[in-house]
Amino acid sequence: MQSIHGQGIARGNGLAPVCTDCHGIHSIKSPVNTNAAVSGTNVSKDICARCHEGVRLSQEFGVPGNRVTTYFDSYHGLAAQGGSVVAANCSSCHGVHNILPSSDPRSTVNRANLDATCGQCHKGVTQKFTLTPVHLGDGIHPKDIGSIAVRWIRLIYVVLILVVIGVMFLHNAIIWRSKAVARRKMQNPMMFRMTANQRWQHLILLTSFIVLVITGFALKFPDSWFAAVLGMGEQLRSIIHRIAGVALIGAGIYHIFYLAMAKEGRRLILDIAPRPRDAFDAWATMRYYLGLSKEKPKFGRFNYAEKAEYWALVWGTGLMAVTGVMMWAKVWVGDLLARWWVDVATAIHFYEAILATLAIVVWHFYQVFFDPDVYPMNWAWWDGKMPVEHYRHEHELDTEALAEAEANADKPEAGPPKE
């Protein structure tokens, strides 16, 4: 009854906690039970934070704010979240049934009593140690020398980090760009790997895919950094996601026509169609790179890894398109079939998105960026060209393309074959 909370209740302050606010009602447990709200870290998280995090207490009762976040940013709060049972929680310093403002001489956090309060755990502390505030944060203790110093240190470091790392990045980016360009020039003679039409298809696919990944996962993980970077609000996010989805489906439909009608497309589908041989190739490749066989398998225009990439993409795009459209037309689908169809589509859409994103990173990015043979990048997606030497190495059985490239190499001024 003597605590600030009890006094508040006596004055008719309906926001001050009564016994049941902290102890629960039907679920009252002893503090020795580590699941109890009145036990350990739960006191800070489940009891005090419930009321002392919001601005309402500061506005209505002048209770100083920001005490919960500053506690969780402090060593005590971080260690307690990490599972420490000896680091201080709110009650270790403020007490429990005897909580009083620090200005009250009876308060455990009154200046006169801090030696004893901190001394419970920090043996031998004097006022020099205890009188420095523990809740450090913007505007809490504007005159405290430690807080002022910490604020300046933060400001100086933020600027320092941006400038130093920015200069380092710029320095290396300039060198990297120049070296990458020089290496690419050294790789002559070149031959064409992707036509302009194919590069456009790839570019639309790549852009819409990245936009879909970011705007999709931003919905699922609203607390993540990319959701924060996006920070555009749900309405705009969902519109952009749909636009990218339509672009991807459009590119897919165009691709089907391309395969059926264009000469280059008909050749592509024949070359990229899976064959039983691909399974043996994969097996032989693993044996070779594990050192179990001396013979390096040879490939045609597309090796098994590229074929797997392509067909995984066909599968994934189809599935994402169908489930995506089902979610878009949820009322229609739900009324026609049953609402759980929409939920099933949503689940597939989410897990397939994870699968597709990881597949791109682990499989495709390896082949086009991280493979030491192509690092820093296989530039074919950009200008369509690939070094003849590299092509011979990877696609030895595509004799037709290699012969054509060789014929053109005799007359270097002619450059690579026409697209």
Cβ nearer to ligand HEC, comparing 57 with 269: 57
Give the count of beta carbons closer than 10 Å to the beta carbon of residue 383. 15
- Residue 268 sits in the site that holds ligand HEC (CB under 6 A): no
Q: Which stretch binds ligand HEC (CB under 6 A): 83-91, 245-253, 261-269, 313-321?
A: 83-91
CA distances from 239 to 158, 217, 245, 343 (A): 35, 14, 10, 20
Angle at 309 (CA atoms; ends 306, 311), nearest 5 degrees: 110
Rounded to the nearest angstrom, the gap between the alpha carbon of residue 1 and the centroid of all alpha carbons in its chain is: 49
Q: Identify the burial level of 24 via C-beta atoms within 10 angstroms of its C-beta, where 0-12 means exposed, 13-18 middle and 19 or more buried.
A: middle
Exactly one of 41, 81, 98, 99 binds ligand HEC (CB under 6 A); that residue is 99
- Residue 21 sits in the site that holds ligand HEC (CB under 6 A): yes
Exactly one of 41, 43, 281, 353 binds ligand HEC (CB under 6 A); that residue is 43
Query: CB under 8 Å to 348, separation ≥6 — which residues?
Result: 319, 323
- Residue 189 sits in the site that holds ligand HEC (CB under 6 A): no
- Residue 15 sits in the site that holds ligand HEC (CB under 6 A): yes
- Residue 48 sits in the site that holds ligand HEC (CB under 6 A): yes
Q: How far apart are CA 312 and CA 60, in angstroms?
A: 59
Q: How far apart are CA 64 and CA 55, in angstroms?
A: 9
- Residue 29 sits in the site that holds ligand HEC (CB under 6 A): no
Exactly one of 2, 34, 120, 238 binds ligand HEC (CB under 6 A); that residue is 120
- Residue 23 sits in the site that holds ligand HEC (CB under 6 A): yes
Q: Which helix (H) or strand (E) holds 319?
A: helix 304-328
Q: How many residues bind to ligand HEC according to rule CB under 6 A? A: 55
Residue of 70, 83, 93, 99 whose CA lies nearest to 41: 83
Exactly one of 113, 114, 299, 342 binds ligand HEC (CB under 6 A); that residue is 114
- Residue 190 sits in the site that holds ligand HEC (CB under 6 A): no
Cβ nearer to ligand HEC, comparing 82 with 233: 82
Q: How far apart are CA 53 and CA 100, in angstroms?
A: 18
Exactly one of 109, 227, 326, 386 binds ligand HEC (CB under 6 A); that residue is 109
- Residue 76 sits in the site that holds ligand HEC (CB under 6 A): yes
- Residue 24 sits in the site that holds ligand HEC (CB under 6 A): no
Q: How far is the CB of 207 from ligand HEC (least distance, A)?
A: 46
Q: Which stretch binds ligand HEC (CB under 6 A): 3-11, 176-184, 228-236, 345-353?
A: 3-11
Q: Identify the burial level of 185 via C-beta atoms within 10 angstroms of its C-beta, where 0-12 means exposed, 13-18 middle and 19 or more buried.
A: exposed
CA distances from 399 to 200, 388, 390, 392, 407 (A): 27, 12, 14, 9, 12
Cβ nearer to ligand HEC, comparing 59 with 172: 59
- Residue 144 sits in the site that holds ligand HEC (CB under 6 A): no
Q: Which helix (H) or strand (E) holds 191?
A: strand 190-192
Query: CB under 8 Å to 244, separation ≥6 — which residues?
Result: 207, 208, 211, 212, 215
Cβ nearer to ligand HEC, comparing 15 with 314: 15
Token pair in block for residue 305: 């890894």
- Residue 78 sits in the site that holds ligand HEC (CB under 6 A): no
Q: Which stretch binds ligand HEC (CB under 6 A): 56-64, 221-229, 341-349, 353-361?
A: 56-64
Give the count of beta carbons closer than 10 Å to the beta carbon of residue 17. 19
Q: Which stretch binds ligand HEC (CB under 6 A): 128-136, 169-177, 190-198, 232-240?
A: 128-136
- Residues forming contacts to ligand HEC in the complex (CB under 6 A) are 4-5, 8, 13, 15-17, 19, 21-23, 30-31, 38, 43-44, 47-52, 57, 61, 63-64, 67-68, 71, 75-76, 86-88, 90-94, 96-97, 99, 101-102, 109, 114, 117-118, 120-122, 130, 133-135
